[in-house]
Structure 1
Amino acid sequence: MSEATTKPSKTWLERWEPNDEAFWQDQGRRFAWRTLILTTASLVMAFIVWFVISALVVRLPNAGFDFTSGQLFWLASMPGLAGGTLRVVHTFLTPIFGTRHVVTFSTLSLLIPLVGWFFAVQNPETPFWLLMVLAFLAGLGGGNFSSFMPSTSLFFPKRLQGTALAIQAGVGNFGVSIVQFLTPWVIGFALFGSIFAAPQTGPDGEKIWLHNALLIYIPFVVVLSALCWLYLRSVPLRANFREQLDIFELKHGLIMTILYIMTFGSFAGLSATFPLLIKESYGGFSESLDPLLYAFIGPLIGSAMRVAGGPLSDRFGGAKVTQFAGIGMLVCAIGVSFFLTPDSMDSFPLFLGFMLGIFFFSGIGNASTFKQMPMLFPARQAAGVIGWTSAMAAYGPFAMGMFFGVSLSLFGRTTEVFYLLATYYAACILINWWYYARRNAPNPC
């Protein structure tokens, strides 16, 4: 990054030169890591809110809501539609308003879907259209990624960007596992007594405190918003909206968008629909099968591998690691397609194994593609491309929910979705190999 300076203020840093080793060691390193910690904690909360619907929808029937499988898939897909759309907006926010304002107010906005769903789940007569609106608003959490991640890329030198971005995104992705793991537990008892709301009662008379799944996160959102306002500052690298549009002239920006849809689009889309996919494929064989006992494992593995994939990509090169990840995803997508219309629970371990394999390799690919982007573009353009690719891949939950819903309507099964995914993965493997990973590739990264 070239030298960047501005007038001192409570929001904008006066000087920021992370690639100057003396500056980095003297003051840059400490401030960059502090910023990473705060923005990563906020990103965890953003992912929790974005994916809380995926954990709620499988339990709505237990609270007295009467929806079809197709309607539940649509509810699970709406946060993805909003997340992708809002990420388009977030792509351009950081160079205009700065890290401090963007992260603080984006985090504070998470209160809107949390409070809305808190009240909605208490009444099984809440109309489906209103739940669709509230599910869309949960996408506020999905939008944050496209401003948080470009911001982080500005704070770190190029040699550490793969690691820093992998830590932030990987730890942030843990929010998916957190919400899917905690939800079955917190809705099972009166976490706050009857102070805030009475339990809901399902058709079988079972009591459930579904509102706890929203209420528990509200204090964290408030505290994190306050900390971000107090301790974050903004890098003095600014650009207006028109200046940032130059990223759409970059051929490799389009290519990296295609590759990141393969990795993060799959991770996010399958994270949102995995509980319902388990229920749809294997729920009829065992009444005791709780999809959420297994669904959280996939995002957990994917998130952990994204953290691990950053240093691996810094060492071996992002393109080579992306190639490895893409091949792994292709094999697993083909494998899982054989176990989606089972005759018994005997094939469930193989189904689960191949699904977890997709999460494993997508997590690695999420990190490696984010290593490729800063190597292909200058700092400001790299930040913009990271934001834009994140926006397009964030449509994954919407697309996956829609694909599953349509596949069930047309074929009565979900197998065709994985045929489609396998075809896309194969195309991405060839594109990455040709431009970046092969010997004498025109743009090795």
Structure 2
Amino acid sequence: MTETLDAGIPAAHSTARAALTRRSGRWIDGWNPEDAGQWEHEGRAIARRNLGWSVFAEFLGFVVWQLWSIVVVLLPGAGFHLTTTESFWLISLPSLVGATLRIPYSFMVPLVGGRNWTIISAGLLLIPAVGLALAVSSPSTPFWVLLTVAGLAGFGGGNFASSMSNITFFFPHAQKGWALGLNAAGGNLGAAVAQFTVPIAVALSASTVWAGLGLGVAGWIWVPLIVVAMIGAWKGMDNLSGARNDFTASLSALREPHLWLLALLYIGTFGSFIGFSGVFPKLIADQFPAFATIPIGTIAVSLAFLGALVGSLSRPYGGRLADRFGGAKVAAASFAAMGVVALSVVLTMPLKSFWLFLGCFLVLFAASGVGNGATYRMIPTVFLATSGASAPDDPRAKDAQRRSAAALGLVSAIGAYGGFVIPQVLSASAAATGGYASAFLGFVAAYAVLLIVTLTVYARPRGRLAGHRI
């Protein structure tokens, strides 16, 4: 859904640089990050400024996307009485909506401009944030209203696709990996920050200037930051007239069978990260009620945020390990580790040890984060290998680069559906058996299948992939 910027651009010359032209509305003409002179003179500073505000806006997107994961745990204390099924729907619906929105969001940057869409997409976050604050202010709020507001939190999930699409246009090819990795990691951290901050804010609301807001403070506290993000994007970001999505490449990528296999793997890695991030606070509350929130003086902390934090921080290492050992080997190791940990959760739950339970999940989150980075790194490698290109200047290599850029957006959208699937599987398990053991056994089987696919298709490549390290 995005296109690298070096397509059709003349080779850069160290002795000259293309001039940038600025128009009203902070539009920039003539942008070419592959032009070394332009990049050194002013391009780098412009790109980094846009990256900074992009990370902040995407971070808030993840915050809003994951708000209901922690709010659901706090609803009973605010007088709400929900069934287990209803709770899991509130947790999973934002992921379903967010994953679906990632597809149209990916095309918005070329249509309206990266700066303009960042302002709009950040502004849309005000709707679920304020909606949450109002919806949870009274226990008499109907469930359908809660569910509707939770669905609107999916706006935050869509932000990832447009943010990544926008930033890829600003950086030269050699620095895209660093820039996109920083953008993704900054966004993912929003899930951890939301789960860490909300219980503290709710506890403080009883004895501070926020008194009277109750659980609604979980939504209100983000409103000023969202406004800052909008103003920052308005004053500090730019629109690139040369930013264009390649619809032809997107259609071509959709016809590549490996795209669907890679999307399946990404459901197993990123889907596990976002899915378990969403349900971890509720799993702790259900299995270990005393640890749902831990009082520390006048505040309360939920240790559930550690899962999203570990998963976010481990993601860059997955890409780095993939560079060294190959993405397929690292992804296979991640699926193996996730399967072993999921089985360990089943075997150790009867012991009723919270710290063992927490430790198992932190390993699971770390493995999913590493798998995220490794699987994402596999995408351009697979598309290049299937192109049959024999050299970097081969036209087929250029075409593979275009198609893989489109595939990155498509795979990220499909993978996010795991955030809906995992809570629903856990909900079905609880409804059918009264516990979560059967769901985790199902996850073990799923990780085993993904491990086999990774090993047979990519770790031991054959056919069009033969002779390539994936």
Q: What range describes the TM-score normalised by the shorter chain of this pair?
A: 0.7 to 0.9
1:419 is matched with: 441
The SS at the match of 1:87 is helix
The answer on whether the counterparts of 1:163 and 1:310 sit within 8 Å (CA) in structure 2 is no
User: Which residue of the other structure, out of 305, 327, 342, is the alignment partner of 1:296?
Assistant: 305
Indicate the larger mover: 72-81 or 40-49: 72-81
Q: How far 1:106 moved relative to its partner?
A: 0.7
Residue 147 in 1 paired to residue 162 in 2?
A: yes
Q: Which structure 2 segments of 5+ residues have no match? A: 1-5, 10-17, 384-399
Please tell me the root mean square deviation across aligned C-alpha atoms, in Å.
Answer: 2.7
2:386 is matched with: none
Residue 383 in 1 paired to residue 405 in 2?
A: yes
Separation in structure 2 between the aligned mates of residue 220 and residue 2 of structure 1, nearest angstrom:
37
Separation in structure 1 between the aligned mates of residue 292 and residue 92 of structure 2, nearest angstrom:
25
Q: How far 1:415 moved relative to its partner?
A: 1.4
- Letter of the aligned partner of 2:87 in structure 1? L
Cα 1:221–1:22, aligned 2, differ >3 Å: closer, same or farther?
same
The SS at the match of 1:187 is helix
Separation in structure 1 between the aligned mates of residue 377 and residue 461 of structure 2, nearest angstrom:
19
Q: How far 1:223 moved relative to its partner?
A: 1.1
Q: How far 1:316 moved relative to its partner?
A: 4.2
Residue 170 in 1 paired to residue 185 in 2?
A: yes
Separation in structure 1 between the aligned mates of residue 323 and residue 32 of structure 2, nearest angstrom:
21
For residues 43-62 of structure 1, the aligned pairs below 5 Å read: 43-62=58-77
The SS at the match of 2:360 is helix
The SS at the match of 2:243 is coil
Q: How far 1:112 moved relative to its partner?
A: 0.2
Indicate the larger mover: 255-264 or 26-35: 26-35
Give the structure with higher Rg (CA). Answer: 2
Cα 1:151–1:87, aligned 2, differ >3 Å: closer, same or farther?
same
User: Which residue of the other structure, out of 394, 398, 422, is the alignment partner of 1:400?
Assistant: 422
Indicate the larger mover: 94-103 or 144-153: 94-103
Number of residues of Structure 1 aligned to a counterpart in Structure 2:
431
Separation in structure 2 between the aligned mates of residue 318 and residue 15 of structure 1, nearest angstrom:
36
Q: Normalising by structure 2, report the TM-score.
A: 0.84
The answer on whether the counterparts of 2:284 and 2:291 sit within 8 Å (CA) in structure 1 is no
For residues 69-108 of structure 1, the aligned pairs below 5 Å read: 69-108=84-123
The SS at the match of 1:155 is coil
Separation in structure 2 between the aligned mates of residue 304 and residue 147 of structure 1, nearest angstrom:
22
User: Which residue of the other structure, out of 331, 338, 342, is the alignment partner of 1:333?
Assistant: 342
Q: How far 1:425 moved relative to its partner?
A: 1.9
Residue 308 in 1 paired to residue 313 in 2?
A: no
1:206 is matched with: none
Q: How far 1:362 moved relative to its partner?
A: 0.9
Q: How far 1:193 moved relative to its partner?
A: 5.0
Residue 218 in 1 paired to residue 218 in 2?
A: no
Deviations 1:393-433 (A, max 9, x none): 22222212211111111121111222222222222223333
Q: How far 1:156 moved relative to its partner?
A: 3.0
Cα 1:286–1:36, aligned 2, differ >3 Å: closer, same or farther?
closer
1:444 is matched with: 469
Deviations 1:284-336 (A, max 9, x none): x7797689622111001011111333444444443333233222222212221
The answer on whether the counterparts of 1:78 and 1:398 sit within 8 Å (CA) in structure 2 is yes
Separation in structure 2 between the aligned mates of residue 288 and residue 257 of structure 1, nearest angstrom:
35
Q: How far 1:361 moved relative to its partner?
A: 1.0
The SS at the match of 2:215 is coil
Cα 1:191–1:114, aligned 2, differ >3 Å: closer, same or farther?
farther
1:318 is matched with: 327
Q: Which structure 1 segments of 5+ residues have no match? A: 200-208
Separation in structure 1 between the aligned mates of residue 407 and residue 423 of structure 2, nearest angstrom:
26
Separation in structure 2 between the aligned mates of residue 30 and residue 374 of structure 1, nearest angstrom:
27
Separation in structure 2 between the aligned mates of residue 384 and residue 411 of structure 1, nearest angstrom:
42
2:266 is matched with: 260
Cα 1:382–1:12, aligned 2, differ >3 Å: closer, same or farther?
farther
Q: Normalising by structure 1, report the TM-score.
A: 0.88
